């Protein structure tokens, strides 16, 4: 168990280790940031974006909230998104959810949790939209599917923001991605292909919005040919059975 004093001691050890490896590390870091990625993820303490992706200081701009939501009226999120896209000009925006998400689990239940219930309204709407399909599943599977459906919903919300729409019109960037992290295995699975325009956004989200998300019982479609990645940016194919 860490204490406040141990955190400060760890920081001093971190500084010594970095300077031993690169005496100019902090001087270079202070010159500015040039991240290629914006990560929109959950506040869960087990989901550390830099640790999960092997990125270092200055390589990933980060916004986190409960249940990794992209709410069109959330000024905090919009300010981060605008700065990342228009000033830092990141090439990728990742919405990453995680299995075992407490926020999504709370939205599934019928209990009151206080103020956070207002924040989780968007997750409840997604659950209600897919209720008939989700209700037939056991509790664990229902939670896993709703976590994934929530990610796809937030990818759709992200792509429809005026910030992303303007950037797509001007420079066909950023690419947006929907991922899910499995705390039990440590792995990240893509739920969408790489998206950089409205057509690709519709393709990634249309089955979800039609009520045919990961809980669908129908066999997965054969994989479609993916357009060649631009400028060397490759995107892993989504897992079978998950939209698109």
Query: Cα separation of 239 and 213, whole Å?
Result: 12
Catalytic status, residue 42:
yes
Supply the CATH number for residue 194's domain. Answer: 3.40.1050.10
Residue 131 lies in a domain: yes
Given a contact cutoff of 8 angstroms between Cβ atoms, the answer to whether 215 and 134 are in contact is yes
Residue 66 lies in a domain: yes
Question: pLDDT at residue 233 above 60?
Answer: no
Catalytic status, residue 113:
no
Residue 11 lies in a domain: no
| φ, ψ dihedrals at 61, nearest 5° | -85, 140
- Map tokens 């990794």 to a residue: 68
Rg of the chain on CA atoms, in Å: 19
Catalytic status, residue 44:
yes
In angstroms, the first-to-last Cα distance of the chain is: 42
Residue 205 lies in a domain: yes
Residue 180 lies in a domain: yes
Question: Quick one: angle between helices 139-159 and 198-209, nearest 10?
Answer: 150
Catalytic status, residue 117:
no
Measured at the CA of 209, the angle between CA 208 and CA 214, to 5 degrees, comes to 15
Catalytic status, residue 46:
yes
Tens digit of each residue's pLDDT (9 = 90 or more) over 163-217:
999 999 999 999 999 999 999 999 999 999 999 999 999 998 865 554 444 333 3
The secondary structure of the chain in percent helix, strand, coil, rounded to multiples of 5, reads 45, 10, 40
Residue of 63, 92, 98, 133 with catalytic role: 98
Residue 12 lies in a domain: no
Residue 195 lies in a domain: yes
Residue of 63, 101, 133, 156 with catalytic role: 101
Residue 222 lies in a domain: no
Report the domain count for the chain: 1
Reported confidence tier of residue 154, pLDDT bands at 50, 70, 90: very high
- Domain extent for 172: 33-214
Tens digit of each residue's pLDDT (9 = 90 or more) over 59-105:
999 999 999 999 999 999 999 999 999 999 999 999 999 999 999 99
**What is this structure's pTM?**
0.84
């Amino acid at each position: 168990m860490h204490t406040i004093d141990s955190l400060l001691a760890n920081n001093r050890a971190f500084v010594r280790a970095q300077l031993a490896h690169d005496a100019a590390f902090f001087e270079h870091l202070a010159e500015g940031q040039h991240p290629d990625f914006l990560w929109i993820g959950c506040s869960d303490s087990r989901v550390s974006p830099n640790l999960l992706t092997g990125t270092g200081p200055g390589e990933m701009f980060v916004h986190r909230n409960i249940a990794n939501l992209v709410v069109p009226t959330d000024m905090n999120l919009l300010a981060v998104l605008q700065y990342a896209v228009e000033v830092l000009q990141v090439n990728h925006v990742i919405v990453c959810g995680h299995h075992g998400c407490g926020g999504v689990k709370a939205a599934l239940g019928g209990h009151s949790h206080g103020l956070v219930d207002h924040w989780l309204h968007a997750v409840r709407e997604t659950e209600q939209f897919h209720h008939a399909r989700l209700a037939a599943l056991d509790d664990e599977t229902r939670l896993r599917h709703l976590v994934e459906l929530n990610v796809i919903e937030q990818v759709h919300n992200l792509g429809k923001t005026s910030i992303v729409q303007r950037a797509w019109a001007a420079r066909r960037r950023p690419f947006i991605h929907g991922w899910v992290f499995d705390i039990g295995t440590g792995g990240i699975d893509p739920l969408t292909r790489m998206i950089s325009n409205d057509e690709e956004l519709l393709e990634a989200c249309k089955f979800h919005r039609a009520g045919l998300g990961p809980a669908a019982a129908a066999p997965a479609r054969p994989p479609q040919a993916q357009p060649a990645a631009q400028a060397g940016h490759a995107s892993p194919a989504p897992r079978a059975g998950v939209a698109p």
